[in-house]
Structure 1
Amino acid sequence: MALFSRRKKTPDSTDTSAGRGPDESDAATPSDAPSPEPPASVGISTSTFRGVGASAAGPPVPAPTVPAPPAPVAEAETIPGVRDNVLLRDALAELSDPPTPQGLLNVARQLLQGPLFLRVKGNARALLAEGRGLPLAVTRRGDKQLVLAYSSGAALQAAVSADGEADTSAVGQPVLTVLRLVLDGEYEGLILDNSSGTARALLPRPLLQRVVDDAHAALALKSLLAGVRTEDTPAAVAAALGEAPLWIAVRRTEEGGPVGIAESRTADGDRFIEVFSHPLEVLALGRGDQPLPVTLDQLHAAVTADAGITGLLIDPGGPWLRLHRDHVTGPA
């Protein structure tokens, strides 16, 4: 029997105390999303794969609903010349009013799927060419400073229309670069798309810290899942599994009961172990599961030990990809 052992401690909670913006009367303060300490180890057997918390004698637990893969993005540019962070833009557009903790976690996970845009006073390209740092646009919430960033050309355009400061320019930056700038400074968080009505969010510093701490430095897996799919994508994703941190979703359904590991099943009975590229991917599903770190070697051992496992389902919240067992174990 293979063993999934914990690589590092998972924080006890994720702070999603966020709102629409610093000067809005409908600012939300949702409760923290729970993230209790996961079990130190989880035994892998046929019974634990029958469903989250299922026992060998119990009936299979229905698989969670899995969204379809994303279609090619036809409207990746809401203004000509600026390619949007489409997944983040759409996650912001789906926020309720006021935003829920689950909606904010969904925004936080989609934050990692592409670049962010910054507004700069003057010519951003000239500043970069001169080797000068980019001054971050900030706003205040009480005595706290928050950095402004944008998901799309439309959000940038809305900000210019709102403040009338036309002598600014926009520059796209890798998301982790922006988040580290926020965390390295004395800022309390990040406001996304501040002038876009209800499609805006405030992500507090503790949540941003967790996003960065658990993210793969190269975001290789995230980039492949969010990118254009080709016949080579499954092999590229399988290769990325060896270098990126990975998690599975676990849950104990009753005190003292068995710990189950989440899997998805198709209508034809195919079974896929759910694997996640970031702990927030697990929490954002809102199923009550907890993330547990896992290595590719452990996944290899689990799939090899159970011939009934069809493969892996990477990031069930989407964009997702199914990998056949041969991508994990190699050809028979």
Structure 2
Amino acid sequence: MALFSRRPKNSDDDSTGAVPPQGGAQTPDAVAPDVEPSVPAEPVPHVGISVSTFGSVSAATSRADTPAAPAPAIPPGATPARPAHLASPAAEASSRVETVPGLRDNVLLRDALAALPAQAQPTEMINVARQLLQGHVYIRVQGDARELLAQGKSLPTSMVTFKDEKYMLVYSGGAALQDAIKADGDAGTSALAQSVLGLLQQVVAGPMGGVAIDHASRPGSALLPKQLIEKALADLDPAQRIKSLLAGKRTSETADDVAVAMTEAPLWIAARRSDDGQVGIAELRTPDGARLLEVFSHPLELLALGRGDQAVKVEPAQLAKALRGDTGLSGVVVDPAGPWIRLTRDQLHPLLIVGA
């Protein structure tokens, strides 16, 4: 079954004032690497492989050495140590939405930062970056943000200097804001929620070097450079359909809504090339042997797994054709690093009829 072609890769003024935090430059605990997803250079055949086992409805666990019969398998090789945030990826976001009453946290970002060790590895920083790509963050503004907006004045945004570049300070929620106030003692600031997408677009368009997230929290702080943000935005669904659904509270309609979103939103699958040049498509296995195709809403969702697989963009019609042509696949798992969702063939009906 031949499918999945490569998508060609597409490879300033700052309108806000800078109010450095007290104490001068801040050195972040962890800096995200400059990561660029790689993809095969030509159309790839579907060679079934099983790179993971899907332990239960609560976790996608370790790599499997058993190939997905009857297709030949690509030997998975040595398995790297799994980062703490992937030891048991949760299907749903935490229900604890506030750490300070009245301020709703960006739950996925907050929890990704909380999982960072003192010396974060690249995969753990990629995990932070992928969880930043949804919802909102907070900025600190000198004075009363509401009064400034009412007066039509610009908002002086706090910055931090790292290696001669300025990074916008952003916060995942109430606890991180409290940490910042304790660190600099400046209680004359107010918090203002900002859409992540709009804020990141502002960072990319301006002279800033990137964003510093929860800079006063230890060890849960991170610095993401502009280069990584630019690449993340290039592949981001502007409507953030799938990620928003997976980040939100699950209802009886969530599965159907995700399936409908998959008919229009950008999608990726994971692939790996063997020594003989064959390319395998990553699958998951349940304990009872059911085969599930891995599908990703963004390349960072795959890179956060740390497996070394390649992200290959796939059109909804191509994915639908693949699923129709391989009846041994019982469904898909979307964003297996979590929050994830498993969809059966019946639930995938809106996708399966695309291009039929």
One fold, TM greater than 0.5? Answer: yes
Match of residue 14 from structure 1? none
Q: Provide the rounded CA distance (Å) in 1 between the counterparts of 2:256 and 2:305.
A: 26
TM-score, with structure 1 as normaliser: 0.87
Alignment CA distance shift 1:124-1:85 (3 Å): same
Q: Provide the rounded CA distance (Å) in 1 between the counterparts of 2:100 and 2:270.
A: 39
Match of residue 7 from structure 1? 7
**What is the deviation of 1:127?**
3.1
Q: Residues 10 and 38 of structure 1 are in contact (CA less than 8 Å); yes or no, is this contact kept in structure 2?
A: no
Count of residue pairs the alignment pairs up:
318
2:177 is aligned with 1:156? yes
Match of residue 17 from structure 1? none
- Point out the more displaced range, 182-191 or 138-147: 138-147
Q: Provide the rounded CA distance (Å) in 2 between the counterparts of 1:123 and 1:277.
A: 38
Alignment CA distance shift 1:319-1:61 (3 Å): farther
Q: Residues 9 and 37 of structure 1 are in contact (CA less than 8 Å); yes or no, is this contact kept in structure 2?
A: no
1:92 to 107, 113, 125: 113
Match of residue 42 from structure 1? 44
1:132-171 equivalent positions in 2, closer than 5 A: 132-171=153-192
SS in 1 for 2:287: coil
Q: Provide the rounded CA distance (Å) in 2 between the counterparts of 1:132 and 1:40.
A: 52
1:1-332 equivalent positions in 2, closer than 5 A: 1-9=1-9, 23-24=26-27, 32-33=34-35, 35-44=37-46, 48-51=47-50, 56=70, 58=72, 67=88, 69-70=90-91, 73-254=94-275, 256-329=276-349
Identical-residue share of aligned pairs (%): 48
| Structure 2 unpaired stretches of 5+ | 12-23, 52-66, 77-81
Alignment CA distance shift 1:101-1:10 (3 Å): farther
Alignment CA distance shift 1:321-1:129 (3 Å): farther
Alignment CA distance shift 1:133-1:276 (3 Å): farther
Alignment CA distance shift 1:145-1:60 (3 Å): closer
**What is the deviation of 1:180?**
0.9
Q: Residues 48 and 73 of structure 2 are in contact (CA less than 8 Å); yes or no, is this contact kept in structure 1?
A: no
SS in 1 for 2:98: coil
Q: Provide the rounded CA distance (Å) in 1 between the counterparts of 2:9 and 2:237.
A: 17
> 1 or 2 for the larger relative contact order (CA 8 Å, sep ≥6)?
2
- Counterpart of 1:41, as a letter, is P
**What is the deviation of 1:196?**
0.3
Match of residue 79 from structure 2? none
Q: Deviations over 1:286-329 (max 9, x none)?
A: 01101000011111101111111111110010000011112334
**What is the deviation of 1:161?**
1.3
TM-score, with structure 2 as normaliser: 0.81
Alignment CA distance shift 1:39-1:250 (3 Å): farther
**What is the deviation of 1:68?**
5.3
Q: Deviations over 1:106-146 (max 9, x none)?
A: 00001123211111112222333445443321111242111
- Point out the more displaced range, 271-280 or 49-58: 49-58
Q: Provide the rounded CA distance (Å) in 2 between the counterparts of 1:27 and 1:290.
A: 28
Q: Residues 26 and 215 of structure 2 are in contact (CA less than 8 Å); yes or no, is this contact kept in structure 1?
A: no
- Counterpart of 1:3, as a letter, is L
> What is the root-mean-square deviation of aligned Cα atoms in Å?
2.8
- Point out the more displaced range, 199-208 or 73-82: 73-82
Alignment CA distance shift 1:86-1:316 (3 Å): same
Q: Provide the rounded CA distance (Å) in 2 between the counterparts of 1:137 and 1:303.
A: 49
